[in-house]
Chains A and B, each alone.
Chain A
Amino acid sequence: MAQAVSLPTSTPIANTQVRMADAAPGAHTAEAVLEACGLSVHYGTRQVLHEIELRIPRGTLTALIGPSGCGKSTLLRCFNRLHDVNPGVRVEGEIRINGYPVSAWDPVALRRRVGMVFQRPNPFPGRSVFENIALPLRVSGVRGKRALAQRVEQALQAAALWDEVKDRLHQPAQALSGGQQQRLCIARALALEPQVLLLDEPTSALDPVSTQRIESLLQELKSRCTLILVTHHLGQARRLAEHTVLLDAGRIVEQGPTEQLFEAPSDPRTAAYLSRAE
């Protein structure tokens, strides 16, 4: 819905590197690919996110952690404007990707550059493995059988799924195992070569072996795009993330380099949460 343009600071968009005032010292030397300023979200009359200020550096994995219901998934869905779907949700404040406010984008075009992977694997039912990846490619303008086949293969390779499914590309996607389905969904997102990949607890519905597979896949993906991972699992955040953001009750409690946030939290609430969660 409305992305009311209300810049809390008068920072010029081009100058993103300089804005580090509210971040932990030394944390954000890299260029920010995604920024949120004064971001608030209301579900009807209930406010679920309050004045979020966030910077996601390029080419890293940022983990969003926090207790259940703190607004992690809601925040993630602001980044690809998935809330637009729902007239009951009101998003205020500004999100910029590569310095451009997302409100200036066509949401469909935006979602082709900002991919998303969901909590539960959600392949398109009634479509084959191949079609699951080819469909988004086709609607975003990839034409020609050979080009499609090539892009599908690349995506499956990138998601470390190619070897397992290359002989059954034309079987229903729902016949795959849960872990394979989730990697298929990652491949579907990667096929569009997104700059940012949003991951909403991608391993929470999976067994430990599949979880490990996907974790190592995420490690490799850092070189391709910027990853934002919502996770319940603190160990996962620690293993994978360069940066970690802790949310509680719709507000950011602390954000900074993962190591620092876990070892020497500057906010007592962070320490309390970490000790309770472990």
Chain B
Amino acid sequence: MKPVPKRPWVGAASLLLGGAATLPVLLSLLLLGVLAVDAVPAVRVMGWHLVTDSTWDLGNLYGATTHVRGVPVPTGAHYGALPFLVGTLWSSALAMLVAVPVATRAAILTAYGLRGRWQRMAAVLIDLIAGLPSVVIGLWGLLVLVPFIQNTAAPVLTRLGRWIPWLDGPVTSGMGLLAATLVLALMVTPVITSTLRELLAQVPAEIREAGFAAGLTSWEVVRLVCLPAVRSGRVGAVALGWGRAIGETMAVLMVGGNAANVLPTTLFSPISTVAASVAEQLDAALTDPTGMALHALSALALVLMVISVGTSTLSRLLVRRSAQFRHAAQSPEDEEVSPWTSRASA
């Protein structure tokens, strides 16, 4: 290809806009880079113990420093993030267990079961939950959910605890794994619902009508035709919600009970998560003269960042793949599909 004599496409305006467009890319890379570099000393000191040990101790911040593998560390400091990781995994996994069936049903109803004004209203209201500040939901958790667990749910559940070990155990305050789970479930439900609702709404009417024409009942059309049509998108929506549950900070901080150095053993155990611990520990970490506590928190933040990049990637791949039949359905009336119109599937 010969060089182009005039390149009007690279005008000043395009350059400026294109420059702005690199911002999301640069920011993502910056976040990853800063955390990765900043986490290195902590990883050097702790190695795998960072994720396998259960003791998180910032050490004596006002005493002498020792050297571990040539790196200065406060005496007695030990950074074992296992309880945070376990708390994160349990709370988010249980939250998904609660949220996915509810969110799926809500998406089905708002996509197919309701019409006109009711459909719009239900969709808007559910989306509204996603927009509520997390401290407001956390506050609600403290005011309503925690007393409910303590006074109503726990007495019933612990009675079952004789047979089911996870339900047994001391119910101290109502704050703990169950409260965190329910708050997280509530927060991710609108995320899953709205993603799935949009996917379901894109299933072409002809495909649904084919189901009806084949003699299926309306629920069978949903279950056997529509849901399979968006299968990979469903997984993507769940991945998206899971990523949100893992990253949620304030609400968990408020109702999780702030466990330190213990692994949860029952539904009522206090927990902390990776995200909540970063928020909680930063204040104390600032006073570490060696800065090692900050490096350890960087490692935690890096873990969160990697998980969230992973879930975003997964959900993008799956939601896009699921959305593709839409493009196949609206084939252009004429002419070869130009790369511009096929862009959406890229």
Contacts and interface: CB of A to CB of B under 8 A. Distances in A.
A8 interface: no
Interface in A168-219: 201, 204
B336 A71 contact: yes
Contact of A43 (B3, B9, B334, B336): B336
B339 interface: yes
Contacts of A48: 336
Contact of B336 (A74, A85, A90): A74
B163 interface: no
Nearest to A92: B1
A86 B1 contact: no
Contact of B1 (A2, A69, A73, A84): A2
A88 interface: yes
Contacts of B339: 43-44, 86, 88-89
Interface in B1-56: 1-6, 8-9
B335 A106 contact: no
A40 B336 CA distance: 15
A13 interface: no
Interface in A73-89: 73-74, 84-86, 88-89
Nearest to A120: B333
Interface string A27-69: 0000000000000000110101000000000000000000011
A101 to B, nearest CB: 11
B338 interface: yes
B334 A72 contact: yes
A143 to B, nearest CB: 21
A126 interface: no
Contacts of A89: 338-339
Contact of B334 (A84, A86, A104, A232): A232
B62 interface: no
Nearest to B331: A68
Interface residues of A, number: 28
- B interface residue count range (under 10 / 10 to 19 / 20 to 34 / 35 or more): 10 to 19
Nearest to A49: B336
A204 B333 contact: yes
A106 B2 contact: no
A232 B333 CA distance: 10
Nearest to A250: B336
Contact of A84 (B2, B9, B333): B9
Given A2-B2, A86-B340, A71 B9 contact: no
Contacts of B334: 68-69, 72-73, 119, 201, 204, 232
B336 A106 contact: no
A90 B335 contact: no
Interface string A82-125: 00111011100000000000011011100000000001000000
Contact of B335 (A4, A44, A73, A85): A73
Interface string A225-251: 000000010000000000000000000
A108 B1 contact: no
A4 B4 CA distance: 9
A1 interface: yes
B121 to A, nearest CB: 27
Contacts of A72: 334-335
B338 A86 contact: yes
B95 to A, nearest CB: 42
Closest 10 CB pairs of A and B: A88-B339, A73-B335, A2-B2, A2-B1, A68-B334, A4-B2, A69-B336, A48-B336, A107-B8, A2-B4
30 contacts: A1-B1, A2-B3, A4-B1, A4-B2, A43-B336, A43-B338, A43-B339, A68-B333, A69-B334, A69-B335, A69-B336, A71-B335, A71-B336, A72-B334, A74-B335, A74-B336, A74-B338, A86-B338, A86-B339, A86-B340, A89-B338, A89-B339, A90-B1, A103-B5, A104-B5, A106-B6, A107-B6, A201-B334, A204-B333, A232-B334
Given A69-B334, A85-B9, A89-B339, 4 more contacts: A68-B333, A72-B334, A74-B335, A108-B8
Interface of B: 1-6, 8-9, 333-336, 338-340
